[in-house]
């Protein structure tokens, strides 16, 4: 993928090729009809062909949305937006003066973020025609489950799109992803582009940030799924309750027709109780009473598992996933049920699962096996629950084998999870190598110290035998892990998954954990798997 994309050229990929026009008066009328106060300063007959929230990405003919943010008010970039072709500006009272001074008509509203989604739908016509949407939220498992859903939909012969942390894909065109869930103007532009490309169904990761910032406003999900809720993003949400309430917005009938909710924890149960969309509940434990669907008869198959889904009226679906970890059985089950909930005939779905094995899909940087001896795995676990689950799933039954984990914690994000992740690593690994994750602009040393302190405190409190080392930079930590590993050991490099840049003190350094691991394995005489054959096929695994 070209790294040289600028904000403007990237934005152009998220637009329909065929442009239609919307006048400011049409927007004003829509806002008034839906009970919102708004005024036009200048010529209401002015028409726009696109809508954009970033002055650096404006395309000629756009309405530039000058929104207040944590750092700036977008109105300070109004002049720049007009110089690059903005035909009008949408702003609030605070932005009025700067917007008016930019010399194009201004649509003035009370709360800018409240109207962006709906106006984007109006501009791109996505209120009238949009691919069938599958939305995923939860702390962990969104990316993996959305790849699985896409794979199942493809096996059913549907033309698909995908929006998420790793990439945006409209048809076969991948577009690098900056946010897990892009801003509303980009989402609507993208849906219109997908419509042009004949995309019938799209999966979308819906982050809690996107719900807080109203990025998915104006979209309607046919089926939304909830994976789980564990600690993360408390810097944004303040408390788990607020984090939960934000996620719950997705399961409102105003946004989603149907919801499939994992009820393995109390947050899931509460989510199912609160949701106003039609709910199907799913439990991983077959003994769970009251769940509509349960996962049963899970048996190891190669690196992954075979399992059954048992539902109402004796319905049984049998399938398998080749992805390691019992959490991937939950992800796979959720994917199958979300497709079923969209109205696909169960027999047709079973036939597609049997024929195409779609739940054995390669998800970059998610439990990605780089070598088999020592078992060397790169995973995206970057919060306590994901790290605990990833570590538990890689422990080999072979006597004397050790688990060596290499990880760190992100800078400028939820600092409370740092010692907790250290403690989790000490509980589950024999050797804990603490290194840098993405420190961003924060000094990496105190981040490492907080993680290592959590690990040491856990060892002391429980008399554990794990060993803690602090090694940086990250490539050196990965090399050290390989240097100490024997063939029967397991190395888990956690936290950065598919990412190929590490931001240290504000500078982007090229770093791909998978490449570093391969390099170190080769240097120590081990045999990594070929870079292109990291996907699994249970058919090969027996």
Ligand X SMILES: Nc1ncnc2c1ncn2[C@@H]1O[C@H](COP(=O)(O)OP(=O)(O)OP(=O)(O)O)[C@@H](O)[C@H]1O
Ligand Y SMILES: CC(=O)N[C@H]1[C@@H](OP(=O)(O)OP(=O)(O)OC[C@H]2O[C@@H](n3ccc(=O)[nH]c3=O)[C@H](O)[C@@H]2O)O[C@H](CO)[C@@H](O)[C@@H]1O[C@H](C)C(=O)N[C@@H](C)C(=O)N[C@H](CCC(=O)O)C(=O)O
Q: Which residues are annotated as a binding site for ATP?
A: 138-144
Q: Does 74 bind ligand Y (CB under 6 A)?
A: yes
Q: Is residue 173 within a helix (H) or strand (E), and if so which, with residue range?
A: strand 173-176
Candidates 67, 170, 211, 320; binder of ligand Y (CB under 6 A) is 67
Q: Which of residues 79-118 bind ligand X (CB under 6 A)?
A: none
> Cβ distance 455 to 422 under 8 Å?
yes
Candidates 144, 160, 177, 342; binder of ligand X (CB under 6 A) is 144
Q: Does 243 bind ligand X (CB under 6 A)?
A: no
Q: Does 138 bind ligand Y (CB under 6 A)?
A: no
Q: Does 224 bind ligand X (CB under 6 A)?
A: no
Q: Does 228 bind ligand X (CB under 6 A)?
A: yes
**Closest by Cα among 498, 440, 501, 438 to 166:** 498
- Give least dist CB 313 to ligand Y, A: 37
- Give least dist CB 398 to ligand X, A: 22
CA gap 519, 515 in Å, rounded: 6
Nearer to ligand Y, 317 or 363 (CB): 363
Q: 49 touches which of ligand X, ligand Y, none (CB within 5 to 8 A by kind)?
A: none
Q: Does 141 bind ligand X (CB under 6 A)?
A: yes
Q: Does 142 bind ligand X (CB under 6 A)?
A: yes
Q: 140 touches which of ligand Y, ligand X, none (CB within 5 to 8 A by kind)?
A: ligand X
- Give least dist CB 179 to ligand Y, A: 3
Query: Helices 142-155 and 346-356 meet at what angle, rounded to 10?
Result: 100
Q: 32 touches which of ligand Y, ligand X, none (CB within 5 to 8 A by kind)?
A: none
> Would you mind telling me the total number of residues written for the chain in this entry?
542
Q: Which of residues 195-214 bind ligand Y (CB under 6 A)?
A: 207, 209-210, 213
Binding-site positions: 53, 55, 138-144, 180-181, 207, 215
Q: Which of residues 398-457 bind ligand X (CB under 6 A)?
A: none
- CA–chain centroid gap for 389, Å, is 18
CA gap 293, 32 in Å, rounded: 44
- Give least dist CB 251 to ligand Y, A: 17
For ligand Y (CB under 6 A), the number of binding residues is 19
Q: Does 466 bind ligand X (CB under 6 A)?
A: no
Q: Does 513 bind ligand X (CB under 6 A)?
A: no
Nearer to ligand Y, 146 or 207 (CB): 207
Q: 360 touches which of ligand Y, ligand X, none (CB within 5 to 8 A by kind)?
A: none
Query: Of 52-60, 138-146, 211-219, 400-408, which part binds ligand X (CB under 6 A)?
Result: 138-146
Contacts by 171-179 with C-beta closer than 8 Å and gap 24+? 171/197, 171/198, 171/199, 173/13, 173/197, 174/1, 175/1, 175/10, 175/13, 175/14, 176/1, 176/5, 176/10, 178/10, 179/207, 179/209, 179/210, 179/215
Nearer to ligand X, 298 or 453 (CB): 298
Planar angle of CA 486, 528, 496, nearest 5 degrees: 90
Query: Of 117-125, 210-218, 385-393, 511-519, which part binds ligand X (CB under 6 A)?
Result: 385-393
Candidates 213, 280, 327, 526; binder of ligand X (CB under 6 A) is 327
Q: Does 304 bind ligand X (CB under 6 A)?
A: no
Q: Does 389 bind ligand X (CB under 6 A)?
A: yes
- CA–chain centroid gap for 13, Å, is 20
* Dihedral of the alpha carbons of 205, 209, 210, 211, in degrees to the nearest 10: 100
Query: Of 115-123, 135-143, 154-162, 416-424, which part binds ligand X (CB under 6 A)?
Result: 135-143
Candidates 71, 254, 314, 507; binder of ligand Y (CB under 6 A) is 71
What is the x/- site pattern for ligand X, positions 488-507, by CB under 6 A? ---------x----------
Q: Does 273 bind ligand Y (CB under 6 A)?
A: no
Candidates 386, 405, 409, 421; binder of ligand X (CB under 6 A) is 386
Phi, psi at 95, each rounded to 5°: -95, -5
Only one residue has tokens 């072979």, namely 398
Q: Where are the beta strands (DSSP E) in 303-453?
A: 304-310, 316-321, 368-372, 375-379, 403-407, 431-434
Only one residue has tokens 């998954």, namely 497
Candidates 100, 137, 160, 181; binder of ligand Y (CB under 6 A) is 181
**CA-based torsion, 481, 487, 490, 492: positive or negative:** positive
CA gap 217, 210 in Å, rounded: 9
First to last CA, the chain: 35
CA gap 239, 262 in Å, rounded: 21
- The verdict on whether omega for the bond into residue 374 sits within 30 degrees of 0, i.e. cis, is yes
For ligand X (CB under 6 A), the number of binding residues is 22
> Cβ distance 177 to 166 under 8 Å?
yes
CA gap 359, 154 in Å, rounded: 11
Q: 115 touches which of ligand Y, ligand X, none (CB within 5 to 8 A by kind)?
A: none
Q: Does 55 bind ligand Y (CB under 6 A)?
A: yes
Q: Does 210 bind ligand X (CB under 6 A)?
A: no
> Cβ distance 16 to 124 under 8 Å?
yes
User: Helix, strand or coil for residue 492?
Assistant: strand
Q: 53 touches which of ligand Y, ligand X, none (CB within 5 to 8 A by kind)?
A: ligand Y
Phi, psi at 245, each rounded to 5°: -60, -35
User: Helix, strand or coil for residue 469?
Assistant: strand
List of residues contacting ligand Y (CB under 6 A): 53-56, 67, 69-72, 74, 77, 179-181, 183, 207, 209-210, 213
List of residues contacting ligand X (CB under 6 A): 140-144, 165, 180, 205, 227-228, 327, 330-331, 366, 379-381, 385-386, 389-390, 497
């Amino acid at each position: 993928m070209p790294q040289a994309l600028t904000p403007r050229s990237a934005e152009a990929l998220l637009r329909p090729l065929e442009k239609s026009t919307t006048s400011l008066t049409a927007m004003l009328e829509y806002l008034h009809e839906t009970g919102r106060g708004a005024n036009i300063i200048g010529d209401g007959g002015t028409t726009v062909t696109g809508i954009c929230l970033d002055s650096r990405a404006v395309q000629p003919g756009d309405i530039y949305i000058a929104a207040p943010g944590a750092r700036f008010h977008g109105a300070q970039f109004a002049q720049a937006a007009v110089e690059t072709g903005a035909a009008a500006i949408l702003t609030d009272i605070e932005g009025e003066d700067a917007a008016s001074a930019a010399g194009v008509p201004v649509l003035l509203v009370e709360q800018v973020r409240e109207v962006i989604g709906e106006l984007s739908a109006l501009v791109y016509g996505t209120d009238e025609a949009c691919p069938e949407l599958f939305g995923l939220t939860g702390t962990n498992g969104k990316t993996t489950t959305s790849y699985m859903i896409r794979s199942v939909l493809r096996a059913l012969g549907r033309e698909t799109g995908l929006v998420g942390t790793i990439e945006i894909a409209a048809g076969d065109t991948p577009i690098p992803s900056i946010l897990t869930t892009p801003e509303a103007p980009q989402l609507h532009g993208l849906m219109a582009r997908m419509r042009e490309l004949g995309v019938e169904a799209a999966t979308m990761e819906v982050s809690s940030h996107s719900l807080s910032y109203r990025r998915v406003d104006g979209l309607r999900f046919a089926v939304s799924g909830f994976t789980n809720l564990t600690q993360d993003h408390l810097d944004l949400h303040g408390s788990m309750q607020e984090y939960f309430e934000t996620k719950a917005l997705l399961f409102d009938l105003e946004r989603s027709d149907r919801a499939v909710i994992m009820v393995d924890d109390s947050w899931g149960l509460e989510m199912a109780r609160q949701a106003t969309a039609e709910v199907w509940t799913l439990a991983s434990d077959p003994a769970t009473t009251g769940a509509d669907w349960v996962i049963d008869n899970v048996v190891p198959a190669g690196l992954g598992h075979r399992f059954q889904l048992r539902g109402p009226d004796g319905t049984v679906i049998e399938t398998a996933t080749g992805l390691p970890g019992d959490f991937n059985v939950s992800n796979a089950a959720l994917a199958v049920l979300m497709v079923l909930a969209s109205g696909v005939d169960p027999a047709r779905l079973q036939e597609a699962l049997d024929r195409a094995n779609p739940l054995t899909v390669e998800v970059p940087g998610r439990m990605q096996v780089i070598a088999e001896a020592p078992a060397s795995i790169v995973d995206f676990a970057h919060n306590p629950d994901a790290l605990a689950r990833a570590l538990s799933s890689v422990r080999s039954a072979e006597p004397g084998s050790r688990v060596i984990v290499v990880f760190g914690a992100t800078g400028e994000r939820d600092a409370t999870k740092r010692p907790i992740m250290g403690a989790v690593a000490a509980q589950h690994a024999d050797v804990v190598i603490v290194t840098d994750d993405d420190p961003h602009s924060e000094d990496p040393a105190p981040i490492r110290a907080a993680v290592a302190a959590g690990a040491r405190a856990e060892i002391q409190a429980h008399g554990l035998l794990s060993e803690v080392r602090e090694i940086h930079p990250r490539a050196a930590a990965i090399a050290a892990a390989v240097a100490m590993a024997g063939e029967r050991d397991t190395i888990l490099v956690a936290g950065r998954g598919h990412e190929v840049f590490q931001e240290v003190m504000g500078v982007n350094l090229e770093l791909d954990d998978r490449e570093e691991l391969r390099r170190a394995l080769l240097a120590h005489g081990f045999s990594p798997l070929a870079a292109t054959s990291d996907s699994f096929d249970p058919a090969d695994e027996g």
